[in-house]
Amino acid sequence: MKRTLIAAVTILMFVLISPTHAQVAVSNVKGDAFGRSIYGLGFSGGPASGIGFSFRYHTEGKSSLQAIVGIFKPKNTDTFYSFGAEFQQDLTRSNSARFFFGAASSYNYNGAAGNKYTAPFRLGAGLGGEFLLQDAVHFSFQGLFTYFSDGTILPLPQLAVHYYFY
C-alpha cells in the first residue's frame, strides 16, 4: 500500500514539474498593451467594490480604473446606496483573457434615518481574471481579501460583466 502511494505521488510530481507544451495558444495581436484606451459599461458586484452599474476605463498600458454606483429601493425596505472604485493592474493578457491584481474600496449605506451597516467602509485587495464571453462581452471574477471598517477581514469573491467599446 505504501509503495503504491509513493509511486503515485512520484508520478504526479513528475507530471506537474516536467516541462509541457501549452494546450492554448496565446495571441500577441494586442500584446502587452491594447494600443489605445478602451471603455466598458456593465454591472459589478462584490463587498469590496460595492454593487451596481460600473464604468471601466482601461488605459493604453496595463492599468484599469473602474467606478461603481448602485442605488436600489426595494418595495418594502429602506434604500440601499453603494459607491465604489477599483484599480486593476494586468499581470498577463491575451485576446480572450487577462489576469490582474485588483484593489477596491466602497462605501455602502442602507437605511432611512441612519445607516444600518456597522461597517459601511470596505477595502479589498487580491487577484482576478477576465474572460471573453462573446464579441465585446467580458466576465470577470476576483478573489479579494476584504477589510470591513469594523475590523473584520474576509476573503470574498467579486463578479462583473462588461461590454467594451473597442
State how far Cα 81 lies from the chain centre.
Answer: 21
Select 38-165's CATH number: 2.40.160, 3.30.1150, 1.20.120, 1.10.760.
Answer: 2.40.160
- For the chain, give every domain's residue range: 38-165
* CB-CB contact of 119 with 108 (8 Å): no
Q: List pLDDT tens digits, range 14-31.
A: 444 444 433 333 334 344
pLDDT at 119: 92
pLDDT at 128: 97
- Residue among 138, 109, 135, 139 at smallest CA distance from 121: 109
pLDDT at 28: 40
Q: List pLDDT tens digits, range 73-120.
A: 888 888 899 999 999 999 998 888 999 999 999 999 998 888 888 899
Q: Residue-wise over 118-149: b if at least 16 C-beta within 10 A, else e?
A: eebebbbbbebebeeeeeeebebebbbebbbe
Q: List pLDDT tens digits, range 37-71.
A: 889 999 999 999 999 999 999 998 899 999 999 99
Within the chain, residue ranges assigned H as helices are: 2-17
Q: Which three cell numbers stand for residue 49?
A: 467594490
Q: Classify 17 as helix, strand or coil.
A: helix
